Amino acid sequence: MSKSYYDPSDLRKFGNITDWNEELGKKFFDYYGKVFEEGALTAREKSLIALAVSHVVKCPYCIDAYTQDGLKRGITKEEMIEAVHAGAAIESGATLVHGVQMMNKYKKLSM
């Protein structure tokens, strides 16, 4: 066993999850493939959304994959960092908005 939880080469083996449950694995990859097709949003826009979400869910595999995907599509580093900030802003906002709960509780418990 590897001494590390994450190994970059594991990304190449992602498809192998189908080995242990073909039906669910296949359904997932079909769904995944369909989601990223050109639709009401362009494949390019979806790639940037995926990059932002990759950071929010802190998935190193996804970050590698969607940085490379963006480069292939000619997405610039300026666009990539703005997408990452959009994700980060929502994530920090999600933390901060809980401050309202803290304030409510504080007020309720205080005389």
Partner 1 sequence: MLIKSLKKRENELANAKRQLKILSEGVFKTGELPMFSSQLEAINKSVLKPKILEILQINVGYMCNQVCAHCHVDAGPDRKEIMTRKTMRQCLDVIKKTGAHTLDLTGGAPEMNPDFRWFVVEATKIGVKDFIVRSNLTIITANRKYYDLPEFFKKYNIHVISSMPHWTKGKTDKQRGNGVFNASIKALKMLNAVGYGMPGSKLKLDLVYNPSGAFLPGDQAALESDFKKALLSEFDIQFHQLFSITNLPISRFLDYLIASDNYNDYMYNLVEAFNPAAVENVMCTNTLSVSWDGWLYDCDFNQMLELKVKSSVQHISEFDKETLSSRTICISQHCYGCTAGAGSSCQGTVT
Please tell me whether residue 12 binds partner 1 under the rule CB under 8 A. Answer: yes
| Cβ proximity of 86 and 94 under 8 Å | no
Least Å distance, CB 85 to partner 1, is 19
- CB nearer to partner 1: give 7 or 93: 7
Which residues between 38 and 97 bind partner 1 (CB under 8 A)?
A: 43-44, 68-69, 71-74, 76
Sign of CA dihedral 76, 82, 87, 92: positive
Which residue has 């869910």 as its token pair?
A: 57
What are 71's two structure tokens? Answer: 């480069």
Which residues between 13 and 42 bind partner 1 (CB under 8 A)?
A: none
| Cβ proximity of 64 and 6 under 8 Å | no
Residues that bind partner 1 (CB under 8 A): 12, 43-44, 68-69, 71-74, 76
